[in-house]
Amino acid sequence: MTEKSPVTTFRTPINIDATAHDFFGEIERYFSIKLDKTIIENIFKDAEEDQVAKKEYLIFQGKKKFLTKQLLINGTVDEYEPETIWIEIQNIKEKDFKHFSELVSG
């Protein structure tokens, strides 16, 4: 019997600029998914128009597969921090966590 990789959550702050566009593109490429362009556009629009309120975004929610947890991607912009979004990628494998950790560390 093979041992399953543990499922985990990756969380990182991303600047809401070209860095975020590149990061969202990498998420789409890596997981072979399409993110909702309207939500992505709203993240950038909100960063310019509302620089005070806390904002939360459901960026992607995958379909649950038999005996696996669904991929879930959320974003949070903290109060008075309009230039940064905290991206949280839930229910990923250890190798996925490592990939994104290496990506943001440079």
Q: Are 52 and 80 in contact (CB under 8 A)?
A: yes
Q: Are 98 and 73 in contact (CB under 8 A)?
A: no
- The domain locations on the chain are 7-105
**For 37-60, how does the pLDDT look when each residue is reduced to its tens digit (9 = 90+)?**
999 999 999 999 988 999 999 999
Query: What is the predicted pLDDT for the residue at 96?
Result: 94
Here the contacts of 76-79 (C-beta below 8 Å, separation 24 or greater) are: 77/16, 77/43, 77/46, 77/47, 78/54, 79/52, 79/53, 79/54
Q: Are 99 and 30 in contact (CB under 8 A)?
A: yes
- Asked if pLDDT for residue 67 goes beyond 80, the answer is no
Question: For residues 37 and 40, what is the distance between their CA atoms, to the nearest angstrom?
Answer: 5
Count of Cβ atoms closer than 10 Å to residue 100 Cβ: 19
* 79 band by pLDDT with thresholds 50, 70 and 90: very high
Nearest to 71 by CA among 106, 105, 30, 102: 30
Which residues are paired to 12 by β-bridges? 87
* 3 band by pLDDT with thresholds 50, 70 and 90: low
